Amino acid sequence: MLALLAKEPSSGSRLRARLNDALGPLGEDVNDGQIYVTLSRLERAGFIARRGAGAPEAGRKVYELTPAGQERAAGWLSEVSWPKLDLAEFHLKLVAAAQARLADPIGIVDAQRRELLRRLWDVERAAMAEPDGSQAGLLLEGIVLRLQADLRWLEACERTWMDRRKR
Amino acid sequence: MSDNGSGAPIVRARGLRKEYGSGAGLVRAVDDVDLEAAPGEALAIMGPSGCGKSTLLHLLGGLDRPSGGELWLAGRRIDRLSERGLAEFRRHDVGVVFQAFHLMDELTAQENVELPALLAGRSPRQARRRARELLDQVGLADRASHLPPALSGGQRQRVAIARALANEPQIVLADEPTGNLDSAATLDVLRLLEGLHTAGLTLIVVTHDERIAATANRMISMRDGAFVDEMRLTGGTRGNLAGFTGLGG
């Protein structure tokens, strides 16, 4: 949400529309209430502030990022260490980074890929060290397959954003 | 880890090129590639199909000749070798493992592994002994008399790896070595390759699969015939394994 606001100050309903654009059918799973609750939480935390009167969209609350919010958004974009790759969140990261020109989506994909490769390296080595028929081997295989799937999707992300950059 | 950064590179390519066709139909399968691998290094070259990685591997293995550039392997410049010199090089200095195994279906596992040693002029007795050792090493001593069609994909690839080692090469090249294998057989092959690396062999694997690439020390990304990125692979996430499964916080 913060990163979406980084592109331009927006009202709640405008943010809703942009979220729908980015998430498609998944956006419908986010209800309006969640958006407004999140906005008021972010406001209380000092990450966003209401824009003063005289704004073009008079009568509506238009939010913009505070410096602390900008820092928080930039931190989120460079974060790679979540235990599991959250597809929707990562996707939003790329969209928000590109729209607000906060960061290069390809760079974000690359950083994430490196992190997943480091994990794969560790998990593969752990799997190779397991004796044949070990119980844990099956669990490690599951982690490997998941990481592989995530890496494949990152490849698709890279291709798509590379094409968009060319246009 | 046996990656000894010191000493001369065992593989060195300068401005390596391979072109097909001409004029408007010219395809630069390998386009001005510089590569160095240290003795004992495990290197993965990754890219989508059609990026030129297999062509590059064929050049490195002396299976195909470059259109330009210079190529040294194991201290020898191989782009200028005669056909005969090249055949000699292929027999002694490199072992190659392919995705499709390329075993002779009419020969037993044992005979397949013996063949390169026999071609290199070893006595039948020496070849037999070496083949037995190798099949034992890849865990297939009890399948020595089987024909390849009677073996599983993973077993066939293990035979192919044993064959690649028949003449004790310093360098093993592998082209999608696990491309046709299921997950368990993939792990077996990865373990074998890791064993070779630990034993000090230089390993170069080309693949489109991150899982294979992730077992190397260094990964190079290839697109449209050229290297676009390189990363040294290390782990360091080990403390978080539980987190990846949802067990951890």
Q: What whole-number distance in Å separates Cα of residue A118 and Cα of residue A64? A: 37
Identify how many contiguous H helices and E strands chain B contains and give both numbers: 8, 10
Residue A94 falls inside a structural domain = no
Measure the CA–CA gap between A45 and A49, rounded to whole angstroms: 10
What CA–CA distance (Å, rounded) separates B11 from B7?
12
Distance (Å) from the alpha carbon of B45 to chain A's nearest alpha carbon: 14
Q: What confidence tens digit (pLDDT) does each residue in A1-47 have?
A: 888 888 888 888 888 888 888 888 787 778 888 888 888 899 999 89
Domain edges within chain B: 39-65+82-233
Q: How many CA atoms lie within 13 A of B220 on its CB side?
A: 23
In a domain, A87, yes or no: no
Domain boundary among A11, A45, A79: A79
CATH of the domain at A47: 1.10.10.10
Contact A117 B231 (CB under 8 A): yes
Chain A nearest-CA residue for B240: A83
Same domain assignment for residues A67 and A24? yes
The shares of helix, strand and coil residues in chain B, as percent rounded to the nearest 5, are: 35, 25, 40
- Whether residue A89 lies inside any domain: the answer is no
| Domain count of the fold of chain A | 2
Any domain includes A25: yes
Domain end among A79, A95, A119: A79
Extract the tokens encoding A127.
Answer: 């799997």
Residue A38 lies in a domain: yes
One domain, residues A72 and A128: no
- Distance between CA atoms of A165 and A109, rounded to whole angstroms? 14
Q: Which residues in chain B touch residue A160, judged by CB atoms under 8 angstroms apart?
A: none
Q: Which tokens hold the place of B13?
A: 């390519």
Q: Which residues contact B213 (CB under 8 A, 6 or more apart)?
A: A117, B44, B46, B205, B207, B219, B233
> Which helix (H) or strand (E) element contains residue B185?
helix B183-198
User: pTM above the 0.90 mark?
Assistant: no
B7, B24 contact by CB (below 8 A): no
Residues of the domain holding A158: 104-167
**What are the pLDDT digits (tens) for A41-97?**
999 998 998 886 555 555 578 888 889 998 888 888 888 876 777 888 899 999 988
- On whether the CB atoms of residues A120 and A148 are closer than 8 A, the answer is yes
Q: Are residues A161 and A118 in the same domain?
A: yes
Give residue B50's region: left, alpha or beta (phi > 0; psi -120 to 50): left
Whether pLDDT at A145 is above 70: yes
pLDDT attached to residue A142: 87
Cβ contact, residue pair A117, B214, below 8 Å: yes
Asked if residue A7 belongs to a domain, the reply is yes
Residue A56 exposure: Cα atoms within 13 Å on the Cβ side = 4
Low-confidence ranges of chain B (pLDDT < 50): 1-5, 248-249
Of B181, B237, B247, which to mutate for an interface test with A (greatest number of A Cβ within 10 Å)? B237
The distance of A17 to chain B (nearest Cα, Å) reads: 32
Q: Give the integer Cα–Cα distance in Å for A113 and B96.
A: 29
Contact yes or no for A117 and B241 at CB 8 A: no
- pLDDT reported for residue B204: 96
Residue of A nearest to B244 (CA): A83
How are beta strands B11-20 and B42-46 bridged, if at all? unpaired
pLDDT (average), residues A106-130: 89
pLDDT of residue A137: 84
- Tell me whether 0.85 is exceeded by the ipTM: no
* A12-23 helix and A32-44 helix, angle to the nearest 10 degrees: 120
- Interface probe with A: pick from B46, B186, B187, most Cβ of A within 10 Å: B187
What is the rounded distance in angstroms from the CA atom of residue B88 to the CA atom of residue A102?
A: 57
Which two tokens mark B2?
Answer: 């046996």
Residue type, A94: L
CATH code for the domain defined by B39-65+82-233: 3.40.50.300
